[in-house]
A and B are shown apart, each in its own frame.
Chain A
Amino acid sequence: MSHTGTTVVIGTSVAGVRTAQALRTEGYDGRVVLVGAEHEPPYDKPPLSKQFLAGTWEGSRLTLLAPAEAADSGIELRLGAAARRLDPAGHRVHLADGSELAYDTCVIATGAAARPSPWPAESGVHVLRSLADGAALRADLVRGGPVVVVGGGFVGAEVAATARALGCEVTVVDPLPVPMGRLLGPEVGAHFADLHRRHGVASRFGSGVEGVTGRSGRLRVTLTDGTVLPAATVVVGIGAVPNDRWLAGSGLLVDDGVVCDAYCRAVDAPDVYAAGDVARWYHPGRGTHLRVEHWTNAAEQAARVAHNIAHPDDPRPYAPVPYVWSDQYDWKIQIAGTPVGATRHTVIGGLAGATARGGALYTDDTGRLRAAVTVNWPRAQAVCRRLLTTHTPFATAVDQVKALASRGAAGP
């Protein structure tokens, strides 16, 4: 098929880059322009709380698309040019440098930003979303001194683990009694709380933060129970908000993300698509709109959007099984499906201690496998992801994973 138009992709992290690349693999031969607010070549986020923060990977290893690679694939890079306004009727994007780009198809991949710290301290309070954030946090961590991490979710727990590995004294604060418990249930969540303890990280679960005062090196974190924690560095990991504010006035329906149909097309502008953390699309398998903040979703959704642009005669709905991994201390955690809303679960193998290798399989009223959480057991995770795609009955899934566990000496 021959394409004559221009596709403008806005946002240069995994969703934007993968859309541009997949357009080419799908045979799209129109013009592709990739526009990003940041000046750095497109880079990846997950290592920011892991290898990059630990200092084992340099920033250059995070590059997703080097300028030479972009040129080879016929992708025009426009870096350091934030999109300011979208005009769907006129098919134009206005950029911060005053220029404008005409498009036939536009892909919104502007992702999300860290929810800002609500506590105005002078300095030393960090969020973690960009390479610059990561470099600033790392500089403070290597300077030493106690660290308080606010938020015990994925990013908070990973930062705590990395800071601990760097030799810092770390306390994690979260208003929830069992931070991962809301997602995984209290029993499995308790193993995650124990993971911090086992590595010598203090936790204050069940208390909120009242305020943070002072400056870098000399901060004071006051908790809702009155405790005051001294800190050299504070990291606030309390979630992310979609970068959709620039779309105000575009006429697009924006409601905690760009609202899209099952084909990832904006509901009120058929030649505008969205992918990644900024997209709230209709998941046909779930019968509801979802916005997912995980790497694999951004990559898979990007590939689907590219397919739908390159093959308008064969549009495919997007109905993925959600998947996320997280590396915390000596645990490789992988979650497929949606544990929230499960009615029952079974644990196979062991989820306790340094030698943990096991999984929790979840089901609901349908009697099918609904989700799988594995620890240090990628093979079982790969099997469960396949079983989730094929809507396998829960009992069958449990049998298969148990069989895997009893195989050979390498099993749990």
Chain B
Amino acid sequence: MPVLKADFGACQGYANCVAGAPDAYDIDDDGVVVLLKEQVPEGDLPRLREAARSCPVSALTIEDA
């Protein structure tokens, strides 16, 4: 199954990912993205790719595993 990845150092806490996919992404108290799941089913991919792409600093990727 595809795997969610984040570049925690690049994340700026803009939270677009949370707005796009609250089931997959959240923000912690320090303003850094949190991955709520690791693997995602293929069926969720289009929506999650869109959420990952909404990150203004390209901190989010989805890798094929």
Binding site for B on A (CB under 8 A): 18, 21-22, 25-26, 44, 46, 295-296, 299-300, 303, 323, 325, 327, 332, 334, 376-379, 381-382, 385-386, 389, 407-408, 410-411
Given A22-B50, A382-B27, A411-B29, CB of A299 within 8 Å of CB of B15: no
State whether A332 touches B31 (Cβ < 8 A).
yes
Contact with A along B6-50 (1 / 0, CB 8 A): 000000111110110010001111110000000000000010011
State whether B19 touches A382 (Cβ < 8 A).
yes
Q: How far is the CB of B16 from chain A (nearest CB, A)?
A: 6
Given A323-B19, A382-B18, CB of A21 within 8 Å of CB of B30: no
Majority secondary structure of chain A interface residues (helix, strand, loop or mixed): helix
A-B contact pairs, 20 of them (CB 8 A): A25-B49, A26-B46, A44-B56, A295-B56, A296-B54, A299-B16, A300-B54, A323-B19, A325-B12, A325-B14, A334-B14, A334-B15, A378-B14, A378-B27, A379-B13, A379-B29, A382-B15, A385-B15, A389-B19, A408-B29
Q: How far is the CB of A98 from chain B (nearest CB, A)?
A: 35
Majority secondary structure of chain B interface residues (helix, strand, loop or mixed): loop
Please name all residues of chain B whose beta carbon is closer than 8 Å to the beta carbon of A410 when the two chains form the complex: 29-30
B5 within 8 A of A: no
Nearest chain-A residue to B18 (Cβ)?
A382
- Cα A377 to Cα B27 in complex, Å, equals 10
Interface residues of B in 42-65 (CB under 8 A from A): 46, 49-50, 53-54, 56
- Cα A223 to Cα B50 in complex, Å, equals 47
What are the 7 closest A-B residue pairs judged by CB atoms, nearest first?
A378-B13, A378-B31, A410-B29, A382-B15, A382-B18, A382-B27, A379-B27
